[in-house]
């Protein structure tokens, strides 16, 4: 439980820092920078997320994402699990169109390629002018509305433009049989109490995943460890191994 307190505190701090950091997660600034052949802050952050996810899965979402922090606060108002299914694919459609826009803009862009991590920030700070607050609160509304309407972390499930980087990175790690952070379960010890499903901030049916021996491979799992921390039988635990070797 101490781990979950620390995790939630990290998410809250990350959310409180969002006015400073929001441009580093911007899906728009990366396109604007591409037109000038600049590798900006969000480009570097997204590349780092992708590379880290090969070994760490979606731990970023579970421990550090400001949008995750916002949505876990929203769960105080609506803690129903968000429906899974076709809606989960919306984020991949958004991602493909967006990546195509970045590539096309870069190809049509001008100038030599340069790196500017602080691109369009004021001394590294994102929101510094009044009109920036319109964008900031627009993004907040975009992220919090799905969670308030549909339930736990619905924006992560349905529209997050960052999640596909980590899902793809995780899959690459699995295909290459690299050691990767994931949840491992011993289903023989499970008593089907469903405490894990209730505790899951992503609203996943964790008990069913345990029964089917699927929990390590779920692309919606953010490796938060809440299921492991609440399980009375110690069924679920963290593992940092090649997933195939770890399979029971
Ligand atoms: S909390 Fe543990 S024992 Fe209960 S359903 Fe989940 S995995 Fe099984
Ligand atoms: S399955 Fe467990 S580790 Fe994965 S998101 Fe749910 S609670 Fe977190």
pLDDT, residue 215, reads 58
pLDDT tens digit string along 24-74? 999 999 999 999 999 999 999 999 999 999 999 999 999 999 999 999 999
pLDDT tens digit string along 184-242? 999 999 999 999 999 999 999 999 999 987 656 799 999 999 999 999 999 999 999 88
Q: What contacts 60, CB < 8 A, 6 or more positions away?
A: 49, 52, 53, 166
Instruction: Looking at the CA of 200, name the nearest ligand.
Output: 2
Q: How far is the CA of 202 from the centre of ligand 2 (A)?
A: 7
Stated pTM of the model: 0.94
Domain 178-246 maps to which CATH number in 3.30.70.20, 3.50.50.60, 3.90.1150.10, 3.30.1280.10?
3.30.70.20
Q: Whose CA is nearest to atom 2 of ligand 2?
A: 227
Long-range contacts formed by 92-98: CB under 8 A, 24+ apart: 92/164, 94/159, 94/161, 95/161, 95/164, 95/165, 98/27, 98/31, 98/161
- In the predicted structure, residue 134 carries a pLDDT above the cut 70: yes
Arithmetic mean of pLDDT, 112-118: 96
Which residues form ligand 2's pocket by a CB distance below 6 Å?
183, 199-200, 202, 204, 206, 215, 221-227
Residue 59 has phi, psi (to 5 degrees) of -60, -30
Nearest ligand 2 atom, CA 209:
1
Which residues form ligand 1's pocket by a CB distance below 6 Å?
190-196, 206-207, 210, 231, 233, 235-236
Nearest ligand 2 atom, CA 199:
7
- In the predicted structure, residue 1 carries a pLDDT above the cut 90: no
Pocket test for ligand 2, best of 225, 234, 235, 239 (most atoms within 8 A of CB): 225
pLDDT tens digit string along 148-195? 999 999 999 999 999 999 999 999 999 999 999 999 999 999 999 999
pLDDT, residue 212, reads 86
Q: Where along the chain do its domains lie? A: 2-168, 178-246
pLDDT, residue 243, reads 81
Task: Give the model's confidence band at 247: pLDDT under 50 very low, under 70 low, under 90 confident, else very high.
Answer: low
Arithmetic mean of pLDDT, 131-148: 97
Arithmetic mean of pLDDT, 135-143: 98
Q: How far is the CA of 182 from the centre of ligand 1 (A)?
A: 17
Q: Whose CA is nearest to atom 3 of ligand 1?
A: 190
- In the predicted structure, residue 15 carries a pLDDT above the cut 70: yes
List Cα–Cα distances, 27 to 4, 30, 60, 162, 220, in angstroms. Answer: 30, 6, 17, 9, 21
């Amino acid at each position: 439980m101490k781990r979950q307190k620390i995790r939630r505190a990290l998410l809250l701090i990350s959310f409180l820092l969002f006015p400073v950091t929001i441009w580093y997660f911007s899906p728009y600034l990366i396109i604007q920078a591409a037109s000038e052949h600049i590798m900006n802050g969000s480009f570097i952050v997204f590349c780092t997320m992708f590379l880290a996810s090969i070994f760490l899965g979606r731990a970023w979402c579970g421990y550090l994402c400001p949008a995750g922090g916002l949505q876990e606060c929203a769960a105080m108002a609506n803690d129903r699990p968000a429906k899974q299914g076709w809606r989960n694919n919306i984020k991949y459609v958004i991602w493909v169109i967006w990546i195509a826009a970045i590539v096309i803009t870069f190809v049509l862009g001008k100038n030599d390629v340069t790196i500017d991590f602080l691109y369009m920030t004021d001394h590294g700070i994102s929101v510094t002018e009044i009109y920036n607050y319109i964008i900031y609160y627009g993004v907040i509304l975009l992220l919090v509305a799905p969670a308030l309407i549909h339930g736990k972390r619905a924006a992560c499930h349905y529209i997050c433009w960052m999640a596909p980087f980590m899902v793809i990175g995780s899959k690459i790690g699995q295909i290459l049989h690299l050691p990767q952070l994931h949840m491992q379960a011993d289903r023989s010890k499970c008593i089907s109490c469903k405490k894990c499903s209730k505790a899951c901030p992503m609203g996943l049916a964790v008990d069913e995943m345990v029964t089917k021996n699927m929990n390590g491979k779920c692309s919606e799992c953010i490796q938060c460890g809440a299921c492991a921390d609440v399980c009375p039988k110690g069924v679920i635990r963290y593992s940092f191994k090649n997933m195939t070797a770890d399979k029971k």
